């Protein structure tokens, strides 16, 4: 499908221009609204302090009592990578503080659904915890929190999702996105929130002389940053400065081999070297395999992999996660084919047009894969998408993904106001959300969703656009620039990896691995290796094509101790 390439504007910035940064990075950072080299400092002493989080003192007081009185503490997580890393951070931190009775419980999505529900509390009661700490969930768990309180269990909520009009009656809530919270960064993932809570708890324990009394070495909290980096990248939160610090520091630990064995094992199974790990490797290699446990089975396996300190056992669990991810790919491929067929029929009914918002449902679809299917369809058609699958008791479970310019949770909140009770529950944030409704209300919901999206999105916002940092001359396409771009991150959500565009002559082209196009491109007499992944094999190779217009990223290809520039083509168009 033809896409429009739009070039980012980079306003000249004196502070950047007079710095010692690589010339190309000066331009890149300016287009990402960086105004000073100081903003690129990712040392830990630049991390925002925990003291400005609303309710942090009340939360620490509850946790301090639980640790010092040796109470049983249960972590209740979520079944995605952010939830898994958050659970592992909480368990590892509390155990390093000397807490003797720490366990975790993660809901099976097929039996309990998302968050701290009354049904999950019934399961939790069997282990008789004195305190439940939610991680990456809880801000919408009113009924679950009430059920826990009625059972005599204290509850602390740590979350980052947007709050509803009322908050659950927990003993304390830490969430930078709750009303009146002054914490400057609203982009922390769930793992970042619990990391901050554990930082505050460690300080309180130090102040009370706990570690000295118990002869416990004072824990080094930076040892948890590999998990924080993984969860932050996996949850696609915006990489503002604070999150870039967390991710960069975590990546440094991973590259130095100072990370949990499970991360190394998952990287190796994906064919990535931990010593060269980038943020994208955490998302596409590690998180994908970790998420497979929550999608198809039970995220407890993923959490155990992150908690394991035995390299051999961690590799065994990683292999199981790898196998689950292969199964997920097969299921997803079939679901995607069915979804595309359904959309072809819908387009034909609407004179080759599609609604601005898409709702898809099939009775045979796998509930654990609908989120990733929604993401794939959203990427292909550049429209907000909600994919539904059957849930228990006649319910449908929906997973939503959005595009720039449309806050998907706000859309669901608007629908809830207009049609009270149509959705049984919903929650999420700007780019992703979840919901449930009764099957007989699907058609009604579809109409409401299409209408709400149609009112908020313009035709221009639906265009397939690739944002480029401009054209590079052949002299700029060199190894020094490629390495500067690689090391200039971490790149990610709202701080995108540099991408360029331009015309090249095609010298060679061939398929590798049956679905990837390997090319030799020429510009101003210089040759460049290039590769385009997952091309349409009905179109490529195209041996009549002598020139292409491409959007590409600049990579460093390393093979047998040799390094050369390689272009990763995200879009190519025959000219």
Tens of each residue's pLDDT in the chain, 575 residues = 678 899 998 887 889 989 999 999 999 999 999 999 999 999 999 999 999 999 999 999 999 999 999 999 999 999 899 999 999 999 999 999 999 999 999 987 777 777 899 999 999 999 999 999 999 999 999 999 999 999 999 999 999 998 888 999 999 999 999 999 999 999 999 999 999 999 999 999 999 999 999 999 999 999 999 999 999 999 989 999 999 999 999 999 999 999 999 999 999 999 999 999 999 999 999 999 999 998 888 899 999 999 999 999 999 999 999 999 999 999 999 999 999 999 999 998 888 889 999 999 999 999 999 999 999 999 999 999 999 999 888 899 999 999 988 999 999 999 999 999 999 989 888 888 999 999 999 999 999 999 999 999 998 899 889 999 999 999 999 999 999 999 999 999 999 999 999 999 999 999 998 899 999 999 999 999 999 999 999 999 999 999 999 999 999 988 777 889 999 999 999 98
Q: Which residues contact 150 (CB under 8 A, 6 or more apart)?
A: none
Largest CA distance in the chain: 77
- Count of beta carbons in the 10 Å neighbourhood of residue 377: 23
Give the chain's length.
Answer: 575
Please give the DSSP secondary-structure letter assigned to residue 258.
Answer: -
Q: For 486-547, give the DSSP string.
A: HHT---BTTBPPP-EEEEEEEEEEEEETTTEEEEEEEETTEEEEEEESS--TTT-S-TT--E
Choices 3.30.530.20, 3.40.50.1400, 3.40.50.1370, 2.40.50.460: CATH for 466-574: 2.40.50.460
User: CA dihedral in degrees (235, 241, 246, 252; nearest 10)?
Assistant: 110
How far apart CA 70 and CA 274 sit, in angstroms, is: 37
Please state the domain extents for the chain. Answer: 50-323, 354-462, 466-574
Residue pair 495/33 in contact by the 8 Å Cβ criterion: no
* Run of H or E residues at 378: helix 370-381
The whole-model pTM stands at 0.92
Point out which residues pair with 298 in neighbouring strands.
Answer: none
What is the CATH number that goes with domain 50-323?
3.90.1640.30
Assigned architecture for domain 354-462? Roll (3.10)
């Amino acid at each position: 499908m033809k896409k429009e390439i739009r070039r980012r504007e980079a306003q000249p910035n004196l502070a950047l221009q007079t710095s010692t940064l690589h010339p190309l990075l000066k331009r890149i950072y300016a287009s990402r609204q960086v105004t000073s080299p100081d903003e690129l400092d990712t040392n830990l002493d630049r991390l925002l302090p925990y003291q400005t989080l609303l309710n942090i003192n009340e939360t620490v007081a509850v946790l301090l009592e639980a640790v010092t009185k040796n109470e049983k503490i249960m972590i209740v997580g979520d079944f995605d990578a952010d939830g898994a890393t958050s659970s592992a951070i909480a368990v590892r931190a509390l155990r390093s503080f000397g807490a003797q009775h720490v366990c975790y419980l993660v809901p099976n999505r097929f039996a309990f659904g998302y968050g701290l529900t009354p049904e999950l509390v019934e399961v939790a009661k069997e282990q008789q915890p004195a305190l439940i700490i939610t991680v990456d969930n809880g801000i919408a768990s009113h009924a679950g929190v009430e059920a826990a309180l009625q059972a005599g269990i204290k509850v602390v909520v740590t979350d980052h999702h947007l709050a509803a009009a009322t908050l659950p009656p927990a003993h304390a809530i830490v969430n930078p996105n709750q009303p009146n919270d002054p914490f400057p960064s609203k982009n922390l993932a769930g793992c970042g929130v619990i990391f901050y809570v554990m930082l505050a708890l460690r300080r309180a324990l130090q102040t009370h002389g706990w570690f000295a009394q118990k002869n416990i070495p004072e824990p080094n909290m930076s040892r948890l940053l590999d998990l924080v980096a993984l969860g932050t990248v996996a949850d696609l939160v915006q990489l503002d400065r604070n999150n870039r610090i967390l991710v960069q520091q975590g990546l440094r630990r991973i590259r130095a081999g100072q990370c949990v064995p499970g991360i190394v094992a998952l990287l190796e199974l994906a064919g990535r070297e931990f010593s060269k790990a980038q943020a994208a490797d955490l998302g596409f290699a590690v998180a994908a395999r970790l998420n497979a446990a929550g999608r198809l089975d039970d995220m407890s396996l993923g959490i155990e992999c992150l908690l394991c300190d035995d390299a051999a056992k961690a590799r065994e669990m990683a292999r199981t996660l790898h196998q689950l991810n292969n199964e997920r790919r097969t299921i997803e491929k079939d679901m995607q084919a069915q979804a595309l067929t359904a959309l072809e029929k819908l387009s034909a009914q609407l004179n080759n047009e599609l609604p601005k918002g898409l709702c898809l449902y099939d009775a045979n679809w796998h509930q654990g894969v609908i989120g990733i299917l929604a993401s794939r369809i959203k990427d292909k058609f550049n429209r907000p998408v909600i994919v539904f699958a059957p849930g228990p008791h006649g319910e449908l479970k929906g997973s939503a993904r959005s595009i720039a310019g449309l806050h998907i949770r706000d859309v669901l909140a608007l629908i809830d106001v207009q049609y009270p009770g149509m959705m049984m529950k919903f929650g999420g944030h700007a780019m992703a959300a979840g919901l449930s409704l009764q099957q007989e209300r699907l058609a009604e919901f579809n109409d409401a969703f299409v209408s709400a999206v149609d009112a908020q999105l313009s035709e221009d916002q639906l265009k397939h656009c690739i944002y480029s940092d401009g054209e590079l001359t052949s002299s700029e396409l060199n190894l020094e620039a490629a390495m500067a771009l690689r090391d200039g991150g971490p790149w990610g959500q709202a701080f995108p990896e540099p991408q360029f565009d331009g015309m090249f002559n095609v010298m060679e082209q061939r398929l590798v691995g049956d679905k990837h196009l390997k090319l030799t491109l020429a510009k101003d007499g210089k040759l460049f290796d290039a590769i385009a992944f997952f091309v349409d094999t009905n179109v490529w190779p195209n041996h009549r094509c002598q020139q292409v217009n491409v959007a590409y990223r600049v990579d460093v290809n390393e093979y047998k101790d040799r390094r050369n520039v390689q272009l990763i083509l995200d879009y190519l168009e025959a000219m």
